[in-house]
């Protein structure tokens, strides 16, 4: 019998995380964990739309607590007795002031993995400085690397800092710590920082720089748009084609498809790049995106139409793999990655804030007995 996800049986407490932290606990829920989200009764949710559309909370249960009250923080401590992982995204010191920091919760559960996710990390001169995704990738060097030569850096939405450098690294950290806790019975604190994660994502750039194969001048390097065979070109209908013809065979196929008599042997001769880029740009502007998509459909040239996230829904490969699903009328990503043995369940729609408060609190009362009924929750 297939399981409902590789993390079935793991319980996670999400202390009202936003952005990166909410994404991290969403991924844990996608993979089968039972995620209980604490929605703060004293503070409205940050999502600007209806709560049922806040997909970062899909698959979770929600309990509403006022963490600034003794009863609210005591309820969190009681919940922590029976969970495997806690995820929080407060500024350093806030959880401690609320009485729900790692020291307090480890008193309730010494095998607990306590995941802390911030922009700057738990220590250092900027640890208390406010910021968002754009600030953290600016400090790490990621933002500087993205954009055209001679132009300003381009904002990669909030995908790199929040979700790649933040949420994904937090998930990797808490699962690694959970593996240790399973073996030893001892939990620990995981300090995930978006700046640290962004720097880690730059590993290959640091390697190329050390080998004198990458410069700080954005838009002039092999993989940042400097090379004519790795870039984005506008078509006659003001759409775009993405070109990734790095290998000579792909480059030859690219030139053939564009009917350009350029020297394949000089592909990596940087002195030719400006002229070649101009030739490619002129060729792509001669026809529409649909025309070029058809030209390169059967060619091994690594040329792909640039689609919007709405257009991507009709991409044959995405449709074949059912990588997008529609749940309660909302199109969203399917659970990923996929596993050969462990099944995964379709995510439930996001809960309303506090939707499961009564059931969750009732279970605490049942477990804690008379002391909980009297309001101590300890």
Averages of pLDDT over each 10 residues, the chain, 378 residues: 81 96 98 96 79 96 95 95 97 97 96 98 97 98 96 96 98 98 98 98 96 96 97 98 98 98 97 97 98 97 97 97 96 95 91 94 70 41
Topology of the domain covering 11-201+334-373: Rossmann fold (3.40.50)
Strand order in the sheet with 34-40: 60-65, 34-40, 11-14, 85-88, 113-118, 189-193
> Is domain 230-314 classified as CATH 2.60.130.10?
no
Do 64 and 43 touch, CB atoms closer than 8 A?
Answer: no
For the CA atoms of the chain, what is the radius of gyration?
25
Q: What is the pLDDT of residue 26?
A: 98
Q: Is the four-CA dihedral 301, 307, 309, 312 of positive or negative sign?
A: negative
Specify the residue for token string 């775009």.
240
Q: What is the pLDDT of residue 374?
A: 33
Q: What is the pLDDT of residue 1?
A: 38
Residue range(s) occupied by CATH 3.30.1540.10 in the chain: 230-314
Q: What is the pLDDT of residue 3?
A: 62
Beta bridge partners of 113: 85
175: how many CB neighbours lie within 10 A of its CB?
A: 20
Measure the CA–CA gap between 26 and 170, rounded to whole angstroms.
12
Residue range(s) occupied by CATH 3.40.50.10540 in the chain: 11-201+334-373
């Amino acid at each position: 019998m297939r399981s409902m996800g590789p993390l079935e049986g793991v319980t996670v407490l999400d202390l009202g995380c936003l952005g990166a932290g909410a994404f991290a606990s969403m991924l844990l829920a996608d993979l089968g964990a039972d995620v209980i989200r604490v929605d703060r009764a004293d503070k409205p949710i940050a999502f600007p739309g209806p709560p049922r559309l806040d997909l970062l909370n899909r698959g979770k249960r929600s309990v509403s607590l006022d963490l600034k009250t003794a009863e609210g923080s005591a309820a969190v401590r009681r919940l922590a007795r029976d969970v495997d992982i806690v995820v929080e995204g407060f500024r350093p010191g806030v959880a401690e002031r609320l009485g729900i920091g790692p020291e307090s919760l480890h008193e309730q559960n010494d095998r607990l993995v306590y995941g802390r996710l911030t922009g700057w990390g738990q220590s250092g001169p900027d640890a208390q400085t406010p910021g968002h995704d754009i600030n953290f990738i600016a400090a790490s060097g990621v933002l500087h690397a993205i954009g055209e030569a001679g132009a300003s850096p381009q904002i990669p939405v909030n995908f790199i800092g929040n979700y790649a450098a933040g949420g994904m690294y937090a998930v990797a950290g808490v699962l690694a710590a959970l593996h240790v806790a399973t073996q030893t019975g001892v939990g620990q604190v995981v300090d995930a920082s978006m700046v640290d994660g962004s720097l880690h994502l730059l590993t290959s750039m640091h390697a190329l720089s050390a080998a004198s194969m990458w410069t700080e001048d954005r838009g002039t390097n092999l993989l940042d748009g400097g090379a004519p065979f790795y870039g984005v070109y506008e078509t006659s209908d003001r759409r775009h084609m993405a070109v990734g013809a790095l290998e000579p065979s792909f480059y030859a196929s690219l030139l053939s498809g564009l009917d350009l008599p350029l020297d394949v042997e000089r592909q990596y001769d940087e002195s030719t790049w400006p002229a070649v880029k101009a030739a490619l740009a002129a060729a792509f502007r001669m026809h529409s995106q649909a025309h070029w998509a058809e030209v390169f459909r059967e060619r091994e040239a690594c040329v792909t139409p640039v689609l919007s996230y709405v257009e991507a829904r009709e991409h044959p490969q995405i449709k074949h793999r059912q990588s997008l699903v529609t749940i309660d009328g909302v199109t969203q990503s399917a659970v990923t990655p996929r596993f050969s043995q462990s099944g995964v369940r379709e995510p439930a729609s996001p809960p309303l804030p506090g939707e499961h408060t009564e059931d969750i609190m009732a279970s605490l009362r049942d477990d804690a007995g008379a002391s909980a009924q009297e309001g101590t929750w300890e």
